[in-house]
Structure 1
Amino acid sequence: MALSIGRSFPLQPCSLYKSESIYNKSSLGGRCSWLRHAGAEITKPCTRTCIAAAAQQRPTWLPGLDPPPYLDGTLAGDFGFDPLGLGEDPRSLKWYVQAELVHARFAMIGVSGILLTDTLRVAGIKTIPLWYEAGAGKYFANTETLFIIQLFLMGFVETKRYMDFVSPGSQAKEGSFFGLEAAFEGLEPGYPGGPLLNPLGLAKDIKDAHDWKLKEIKNGRLAMMAMLGIFVQASVTHVGPIDNLVEHLSNPWHKTIIQTLASSSS
């Protein structure tokens, strides 16, 4: 199909146009209506494929990539990234969304805790062990007791989360949590809310909170990458991230990841 404006400037198929004013989705047979737009004359009707291609154009993790059909852009942070096809099954996709959300939140908490304690240690404000040695420290109970407590608490939380995933809203019903259900105000799976888990009252209308969801998952993905970097950094340098940062800033041109990896392998 070709478009012509005036007597020159031939244009390409209408799939290049994003504006809905060029075509009419409601026309019979999925074809474009005969429209004129700024002097442009459509000399052939568009096919349904042409309309779908124009409608589906959206940001993707790789420019020019055609996202898989099951990633239609409705999920927060959906940029069509699924090279292994893990989300082809709709039920699995829902679970992977929840799994990513939980891992993102743990990563954000972990990175924040590591950076805070490492800053206090390096600044000499408080005597704190390196983050990867913190588990060997002595606390209010021995290691075995702490491990059992953690298993119980995490098991309880994860069970409640799974039950809410299977039956959304079930954990907010009266009598499901010792009369404290109102303190959580289950909004939807993955977003319990309430004064305990949403003290600032952000995104009270979770259905229209796409921007907040997008910000959270973007920061969470960044935190997961940062956590991976901290793991590798500790394995190679045997110090904390703030120590590495201070060393890099002391000699930015010679204290880099390349020199560090080269010296560690030699």
Structure 2
Amino acid sequence: MTISIGTSSHILACSCSSSSLLNYSTNRTAFGTSGKWGSGSGHFKTAIKAQQRPTWLPGLDPPSYLDGTLAGDFGFDPLGLGEDPESLKWYVQAELVHARFAMAGVAGILFTDLLRVTGISDLPVWYEAGATKFGFASTRTLFIIQLLLMGFAETKRYMDFTNPGSQAKEGSFFGLEAALEGLEPGYPGGPLLNPLGLAKDIKNAHEWKLKEIKNGRLAMVAMLGIFVQANVTHVGPIDNLVRHLSNPWHETIIQTLSGSGS
């Protein structure tokens, strides 16, 4: 709890607990003063304010249903989408999945674009990769394989969301359940999906959850930037970076956008 005491000549501020306030009112000697709390010859003015958790907009009162227990909860819900508890659970899982896809997408785009620009590999630019013909399999075959694999993974994820822990039961995944150890919806573990064992106790891994969702949100913003950049410049992100570094004062987003409109 934050306490500030101001007089006509100075302001004294400190942080203390409610127990120290009790001691003050009991002993009436805190801060080297005497007399009753909130009064005295110096006309003390007191302001007591409970310390608030960080919010996306400083000074904003977060909605009551966002109590700070969720990873990355900074009270941001201007449309009130999370008022319903069941909907909030689904939105949390949806954001987590989109964040992970965005992190994988940004890493894949930057890595392959770097290989292409440096000439190490003859790869297509990322937004043309889907139209590329591969010799080892047809486009239809690759699409069907992706549909089956993604459909299987998403079905398992949805089943674990509706019935938490059901996909970690023996016999639910061809005998590989112990290798996954899905102990919480959205956070499968085990040697396959958590080989370094960074968050073995997922219930108390608040710091790791916060880091993941922060990086995931940053990746989603980066992915949006890559989409816009490709639509405006028609080249990959590494090409844009090289162009900017070659002439940083004149090759900027302002010149790029102004040139695209002319």
| TM bucket, shorter chain | 0.7 to 0.9
Alignment-mate amino acid for residue 184 of structure 1: L
Alignment of 1:194-233 (within 5 A): 194-233=190-229
Identify if the C-alpha distance between structure 1 residues 83 and 39 changes in structure 2 by more than 3 Å, giving closer, same or farther.
farther
Q: Which residue of 1 aligns with 2:61?
A: 66
Query: Do 1:186 and 1:192's aligned partners in 2 also have CA atoms closer than 8 Å?
Result: yes
Q: Say whether 1:240 aligns with 2:236.
A: yes
Using a 3 Å threshold, how does the CA distance of structure 1 residues 39 and 33 change in structure 2: closer, same or farther?
Answer: closer
Length, aligned pairs only: 248
Percent identity over paired residues: 76
1:80 is aligned, of 72, 75, 81, to: 75
Consecutive unaligned residues in structure 2, runs of 5 or more: 40-46
**Secondary structure at 2:50 match in 1:** helix
Match of 1:145 in 2: 141
Residue matched to 2:42: none
Conserved? CA contact 1:6–1:39, under 8 Å: no
Q: Is the 8 A contact 1:172 1:182 kept in 2?
A: yes
CA contact (8 A) 1:18 1:54 kept: no
Counterpart Cα distance in 1 of 2:239 and 2:60:
40
Closer, same or farther: CA 23–174 of 1 in aligned 2, 3 Å: farther
CA distance in structure 1 between the aligned counterparts of 2:247 and 2:8, rounded to whole angstroms: 63
Once the two structures are TM-superposed, the CA of residue 75 in structure 1 deviates from its matched residue by 0.8
The one-letter code of the counterpart of 2:103 is M
Q: What are the within-5 Å matches in structure 2 for residues 65-214 of structure 1? A: 65-139=60-134, 140-214=136-210
Structure 1: segments with no counterpart, 5+ residues = 25-31, 45-49
Between the aligned partners of 1:229 and 1:19, the Cα distance in structure 2 is: 45
Cα RMSD, aligned residues only: 2.7
Aligned mates of 1:11, 1:90 — CA distance in 2: 43
Distance 2:255 2:178 in 1: 55
Retained in 2: the 8 A contact 1:117–1:128? yes
In structure 1, what residue type is equivalent to 2:115?
A: L
SS in structure 1 at match of 2:133: coil
Runs of 4 or more above 2 Å deviation: 2-12, 16-24, 32-44
TM superposition score normalised by structure 2: 0.86
Of residues 31, 39, 48 in structure 2, which corresponds to 1:38? 31
- 1:42 is displaced (CA, Å) by 3.5
Instruction: Please tell me the residue identity of whatever aligns with 2:84.
Output: D
Distance 2:234 2:6 in 1: 66
